[in-house]
Amino acid sequence: MMDFDFIERLIDALDNSSVDSIDIERGGTRVRLSKSPSGTVVAPVAVTAAPAPAVALPAPAATPATETPVAASNLVEIISPMVGTFYRSPGPDALSYVEVGARVMPGDTLCIIEAMKLMNELECEVTGTIAEICIENAQPVEFGQVLFRVDPS
């Protein structure tokens, strides 16, 4: 059985980390905490808690963000905000939203990520030119995976 103080510490640990969700089973009780709105599943981290009150959370491999600057260059990486299937166009016979060399502005749709049968449009948040499209059409993507690189100049 989990006590209320333990659950409060879990909430604090989740709030102060870049982990999106925690799924814990302890003494036959299961608790799932998530920063994502219900209906959206983002790579949960499963932690089996021992009877000890300390909570250890693994460090994430990548910092979740919509866009992260690349340290080695001036390109901005646009990463996947969720797990799903990457689509470059709104339909099989439609033109791609963007191509390499296309000029983009904040609010422009870059792609669709299908997650749990929901089509989620990913909008650009920077002005620049598409330098690289890192994923092939209709391929699965992971949370935090680089989808595009944009030259902001």
84 with 17, same domain? no
Residue 125 has pLDDT above 80, yes or no: yes
Question: For residue range 73-105, what is the model confidence (pLDDT) as tens digits?
Answer: 799 999 999 999 999 999 989 999 999 999 999
pLDDT category at 53 given cuts 50, 70, 90 is very low
- Give ∠ CA 45-38-137 in degrees, rounded to 5: 75
Q: What is the pLDDT of residue 7?
A: 73
pLDDT category at 42 given cuts 50, 70, 90 is very low
* pTM (predicted TM-score): 0.53
**Residue 44 in contact with residue 34, Cβ under 8 Å?**
yes
In CATH, what number is assigned to the domain containing residue 136? 2.40.50.100
Taking all residues of the chain, what is their mean pLDDT, rounded to a whole number?
77
82 with 122, same domain? yes
- Give ∠ CA 4-19-27 in degrees, rounded to 5: 35
Q: Is residue 16 part of a domain?
A: yes
**What's the rounded mean pLDDT across residues 54-67?**
45
Q: Is residue 60 part of a domain?
A: no
Report the distance separating Cα 97 and Cα 46, nearest Å. Answer: 36
Residue range(s) defining the domain that contains residue 101: 67-151
Q: What is the pLDDT of residue 27?
A: 62
Q: Which residue has the higher pLDDT, 57 or 126?
A: 126
Q: What is the pLDDT of residue 28?
A: 61
Q: What is the pLDDT of residue 55?
A: 46
Q: Is residue 111 part of a domain?
A: yes
Question: For residue range 130-144, what is the model confidence (pLDDT) as tens digits?
Answer: 999 999 999 999 999
Q: What is the pLDDT of residue 40?
A: 40
Beta bridge partners of 115: 118
Q: What is the pLDDT of residue 29?
A: 67
